[in-house]
């Protein structure tokens, strides 16, 4: 009976241990699966919008301006003032026998609707800040897209680098067979070994480049370990471009251009406030005076109007109108700049698309066919190792150039989207 209980106890312990180990394995597997999940550009932009410090900075900036605007939109406060006169002198006014003390409330009464105009200016300044923040958010999204494209490009470059190692290893093996058969010089084998070693070095460098670009992307949302999986994107999936005219028509929707409209409304509010400042405000005060000499009280009142306010207000209005005209001039200048930039981008992206499609669709298959023919001919002794190496180099160079051209196409498309105010998108519906 004791043996049975002992065996049962041991079996239970073993089962618990196995269950614990299985749980750890499943947890690790789940974590690894989560780590290796594909990351799309849309997800990357969402992570940055949620976690990048810029979001908090913009929120605090808005809070600061809102609080300041609310403070400036308050009406002038009442002031409590106490005066003491005719005491501590000489003769009949020595001591406090002739003391006169006055307590009064005073306030500035604004004229010309200044309070409402200050409130309007506060609203316009917040609108202008919101427009400016939209520009900065769009630029951040564009930067995410640029770095995302860099990752996808490096992923494809690593594939090409590893293929280079495979081709070099295949060539080394073929040369080795020919050397062993006495059909090639041992020096050719050394040449092939050197080519393989250099290809392995290039592949290692490509791995480091990819690791760096991954971290460069993930730090934008606070992940210094680049714990995402593959960046989802087919580098050679090039979308069709719209006409240059259709892109030009959307320039006015660029947040950078729309921001000038918000700035103009804020300057208009400043002009109206400067005009209202020409109407002088009135300061009024009222209170009670205590006359110690007569043991009596009396009411006091006063009012004052500042002089020379129109000249100062006129200068402020002139400055506000100059700023308003400057906003229009800046908008026209910026629009011309964006039109020139769009034309340059369109020319570059058209060339990049033509180059990428030609290299990947037309030239690469020819280079593949030439390599196959050369490799077969080398095995049969019709071609030299130099010709085989040249065929391999040509194919790999075509692939690398195609990757560069395709990556440039996607990056330029992001720039066009940013310039025209379109949503930042890339690799939609594609997979690596």
Q: Identify the three-state secondary structure at position 60.
A: helix
Arithmetic mean of pLDDT, 324-335:
94
> Does residue 368 register a pLDDT over 60?
yes
Does this model's pTM top 0.75? yes
Q: 305 by DSSP, 3-state: which?
A: coil
Q: Note the pLDDT of residue 266.
A: 92
Domain ranges in the chain are 37-420
Least confident span in 209-223, 340-354, 375-389: 375-389
Give me the pLDDT at residue 18, please.
33
Q: CA–CA distance from 181 to each of 175, 192, 378, 388 (Å)?
A: 10, 16, 14, 19
Q: What's the mean pLDDT in 37-48?
A: 92
pLDDT at 36: 55
**Residue 90 pLDDT exceeds 80:** no
Predicted pLDDT at 1: 38
417-427: pLDDT as tens digits? 999 988 888 88
Cα-based distances in Å from 234 to 148, 231, 410 = 12, 9, 11
Domain 37-420: which topology? Outer membrane efflux proteins (OEP) (1.20.1600)
Residue 28 has pLDDT above 70, yes or no: no
More confident position, 153 or 310? 153
Exposed, middle or buried by CB within 10 Å (0-12, 13-18, 19+), for 117?
buried
Reply yes or no on whether the pLDDT at 276 is more than 60.
Answer: yes
Q: Does the pLDDT of residue 156 top 50, yes or no? A: yes
Using pLDDT thresholds of 50, 70 and 90, give the confidence band for residue 382: confident
The pLDDT assigned to 2 comes to: 39
User: What CA–CA distance (Å, rounded) separates 138 from 144?
Assistant: 10
pLDDT recorded at residue 341: 95
Concatenating the DSSP letter of every residue in 127-178 gives HHHHHHHHHHHHHHHHHHHHHHHHHHHHHHHHHHHHHHHHHHHHHHHHHHHH
Distance CA 148, CA 345 (A): 19
């Amino acid at each position: 009976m004791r043996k049975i209980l002992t065996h049962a106890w041991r079996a239970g312990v073993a089962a618990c241990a196995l269950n614990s180990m299985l749980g750890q394995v499943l947890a690790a597997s789940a974590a690894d699966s989560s780590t290796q999940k594909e990351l799309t550009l849309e997800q990357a932009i969402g992570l940055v919008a949620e976690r990048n410090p810029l979001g908090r900075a913009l929120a605090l900036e808005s809070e600061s301006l809102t609080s300041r605007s609310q403070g400036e939109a308050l009406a002038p406060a009442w002031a409590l003032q106490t005066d003491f006169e005719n005491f501590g002198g000489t003769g009949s006014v020595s001591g406090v026998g002739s003391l006169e003390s006055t307590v009064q409330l005073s306030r500035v009464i604004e004229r010309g609707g200044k309070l409402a105009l200050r409130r309007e200016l506060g609203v316009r300044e917040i609108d202008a800040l919101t427009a400016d923040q939209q520009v900065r958010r769009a630029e951040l999204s564009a930067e995410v897209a640029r770095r995302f494209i860099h990752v996808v490009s490096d992923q494809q470059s690593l594939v090409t680098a590893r293929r280079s190692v495979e081709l070099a290893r295949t060539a080394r093996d073929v040369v080795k067979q020919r050397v062993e058969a006495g059909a090639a010089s041992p020096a050719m084998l050394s040449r092939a070994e050197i080519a393989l070693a250099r290809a392995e070095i290039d592949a290692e460098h490509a791995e480091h480049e990819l690791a760096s670009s991954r971290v460069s992307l993930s730090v934008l949302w606070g992940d210094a370990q680049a714990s995402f999986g593959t960046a989802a994107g087919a580098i050679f999936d090039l979308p069709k471009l719209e006409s240059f005219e259709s892109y030009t028509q959307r320039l006015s929707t660029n947040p950078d251009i729309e921001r000038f409209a918000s700035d103009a409304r804020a300057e208009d509010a400043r002009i109206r406030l400067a005009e209202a400042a020409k109407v002088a405000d009135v300061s009024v005060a009222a209170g009670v005076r205590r006359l110690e000499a007569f043991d009596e009280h009396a009411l006091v009142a006063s009012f004052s109007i500042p002089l020379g306010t129109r000249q100062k207000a006129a200068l402020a209005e002139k400055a506000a109108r100059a700023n308003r005209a400057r906003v229009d001039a800046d908008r026209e200048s910026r629009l011309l700049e964006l039109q020139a930039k769009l034309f340059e981008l369109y020319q570059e992206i058209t060339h990049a698309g033509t180059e990428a499609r030609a290299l990947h669709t037309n030239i690469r298959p020819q280079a593949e066919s030439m390599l196959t023919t050369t490799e077969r001919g080398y095995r049969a002794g019709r071609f030299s190792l130099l010709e085989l190496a040249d065929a391999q180099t040509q194919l790999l160079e075509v692939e690398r150039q195609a990757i560069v051209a395709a990556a440039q196409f996607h990056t330029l498309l992001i720039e066009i989207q940013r310039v025209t105010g379109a949503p930042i998108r890339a690799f939609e519906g594609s997979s690596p």
